[in-house]
Amino acid sequence: MKKVILLLVGVAFLAGCSITPKTKQVEVTSIPTEKLRLSIPNPEPLELRDVGWVIVTEANIDEVWQMLKDDNEGVALFALRHGDYERLALNIKDIRAQIGEYIVILKQYREYYEGDTPQ
């Protein structure tokens, strides 16, 4: 009797898995959507102000100093050593290169989103 009960319980466990309802198959669909147009206007051209440079040497320092006094704009001298001027020029070159990279990136974004290359 014990064997029969164990046999029935075993059959019930095995058959129980086949009685459960089948899982529904999931259907995945993708719908293409249009890219939104960028509404980024081109920046206004940069208008830089003129800067006057005066090279001061030991030979012309008195003349330059008098010129600054005569112009009555205040007297102040800002000096750069040769190495400092060179580093300043290299910094400006690096800034221009970085801005050029940003321009390329922005053009690529605009071309991707709008499909045309702005002039």
Residue 8 domain flag: no
pTM for this one? 0.54
Provide the domain limits for residue 116: 41-119
Contact 94, 102 (CB under 8 A): no
pLDDT tens per residue across span 3-61? 888 888 887 777 766 666 777 888 889 988 887 777 777 788 888 899 888 888 999 99
Say how far apart CA 15 and CA 19 lie, in whole Å: 6
Residue 31 domain flag: no
Contact 114, 37 (CB under 8 A): yes
Residue 10 domain flag: no
Burial label for 9, CB within 10 Å (0-12, 13-18, 19+), is exposed
How many structural domains does the chain have? 1
pLDDT tens per residue across span 57-84? 999 999 988 888 888 877 788 889 999 9
Per-residue model confidence (pLDDT) at position 16: 66
Residue 6 domain flag: no
Give CA angle at 109 (105, 115), nearest 5°: 135
Sign of CA dihedral 46, 47, 50, 51: negative
